[in-house]
Amino acid sequence: MTHILAIDQGTTSSRAIIFDADMAIVATAQEEFTQHFPQSGWVEHDVSEIWSTVAATCRGAIEKAGLRTGDIAAIGITNQRETTLVWDRKTGAPVHNAIVWQDRRTADFCDTLKAEGFEAEITKRTGLLADPYFSGTKVHYILNTVTGAQARADRGELLFGTVDSYLIWKLTGGKVHATDATNAARTMLYNIREGRWDDTICKRLNIPQSMLPEVRDCAADFGETRADLFGAPIPITGVAGDQQAATIGQACFSAGMLKSTYGTGCFALLNTGDTLVESRNRMLGTIAYQFDGKPTYALEGSIFIAGAVVQWLRDGLRVIRAAGETQALAEKADPSQELYLVPAFTGLGAPHWDANARGAIYGLTRNSGPAEFARAALESVGFQTRDLLEAMHADWPDAGDAGVLRVDGGMSASDWSMQFLSDIIGAPVDRPEVLETTALGAAWLAGMRAGVYPDQAGFAQSWALQRRFEPQMDSATRERRYAGWKDAVGRTLTR
């Protein structure tokens, strides 16, 4: 029993990855699933498709690895955060499609909470803002929209969970309804100062606490899988939301260390240790990880569109056939054209938090074409990252491990993108040997708990640098380009 199965349930696909005793990947299985867009700014997933792709990829990865179930010591789960599921306590049947973290349908209700002055209470208790991004207002929407749902919830017939909770519930055959502290911290219902579901917020949103999962450490006992799923029970011993799992996978265990993950969105987390920083720049206070009942805090900045802008080039504009073509296309762009693409397709996240903003592009000429669009799309990710880092440094001047940013996620494989990122933030960017840091973080949590992997110090020593990108852009150009970006964003904001 020297292998660990990591479930990485993401926004556009589900993956299962088998790690060996040396934390090396031995097999991977992945399946994409359907994105549903019922209205502009609304994003949903079919709950049954989330589950079926997870079950299928787990079986596929075990088979590819040539393993028996008895060879797997434990399962670690990492997941798209904030995505909201409500299901029947007895049958497991969902009462509504999963409402995805990107979904903006509760913007008006969030405005109501702000008008009441309730956002200050939310921030004080949860570290978050009153924004559609988080789970709380999504649960409120489901209970108030699905016929009879509020009454059923009040009777204790319904359960709420983020994706990890639903997977634990399904994997254990309904025996365990639990989550970890990092996912709980993203619901807008969990008091991260006191380590409990918050009575005041739950009452205001009319969410009965009987719906809510038990909150456990990231490395903990989350039950065993049903024997019939994979041939024998497997313990689930590690859970973390995807960005926290990436923080763990990057071994950002010291206060001041900073990582940024480039997937569908971009998420930067700064470890602030025992200090819960109260942001003055609309960053989020959150939990980086929790061991032995003690949380380690972080500042987080969330960008809704990063890798998804490349998907837009492919599926919307159809100027590329595959994501890998973007870099070569960007390299052909006319250097005299400085286009700015503000990818506010589902609003703007940190530090602006404008749910009603929509995408825009500035600086177009008659000569602007696919190459210029591709370059502007990739540059938008670097510009948005600088927005986050500047806000973080303003909130906590000790930010950054010697000014170094550790990166991971699919887009970090692009040398062009990472070089521009280093140029525009004016700091080194470190790319690790293992880019699958999210899955690695989940695997390490499970393996450490199961006694297969080393402790924090031992794991941190195993982190290996693949390449460091150093700034090459002169400071005058850097500041001029960034000023152009800020002007473009200012023209796009609706508030």
Q: CA 256: distance to chain centroid? A: 20
Residues 6+ apart with CB under 8 A from 410: 262, 263, 307, 323, 435
Per-residue pLDDT at 27: 94
Per-residue pLDDT at 302: 83
Query: Are 251 and 463 spatial neighbours (Cβ–Cβ below 8 Å)?
Result: yes
- 398 SS3 class: coil
Per-residue pLDDT at 455: 93
Element (H, E) at 468: strand 465-469
Per-residue pLDDT at 398: 64
- Where does 312-370 show beta strands of DSSP type E? 340-342, 360-362
- Where does 176-303 show beta strands of DSSP type E? 178-180, 190-191, 196-197, 214-216, 236-241, 258-262, 266-273, 284-291, 294-303
CA-wise closest residue to 281 among 199, 184, 351: 351
Per-residue pLDDT at 399: 57
C-alpha 27/C-alpha 37 separation (Å) is 33
Long-range contacts of 91-96 (CB under 8 A, 24+ apart): 92/169, 92/170, 92/174, 94/47, 94/48, 95/142, 95/146, 95/149, 95/152, 95/158, 96/142, 96/145, 96/146, 96/149
C-alpha 166/C-alpha 164 separation (Å) is 5
Residue ranges of domains in the chain: 3-242, 251-432+464-495
251-432+464-495 shares the fold of 3-242: yes
CATH of domain 3-242: 3.30.420.40
C-alpha 349/C-alpha 340 separation (Å) is 17
C-alpha 278/C-alpha 228 separation (Å) is 47
| Binned average pLDDT, 10 residues per bin, the chain of 495 residues | 92 93 93 90 94 95 89 95 95 96 91 94 92 94 96 96 97 97 96 96 96 97 94 95 93 90 86 88 90 94 81 80 79 89 84 84 89 90 91 76 79 90 94 89 95 93 92 94 94 85
C-alpha 3/C-alpha 24 separation (Å) is 10
Domain 251-432+464-495: state its class: alpha beta
Q: Which two tokens stand for residue 426?
A: 């004016």
Q: Are strands 294-303 and 284-291 parallel, antiparallel or unpaired?
A: antiparallel
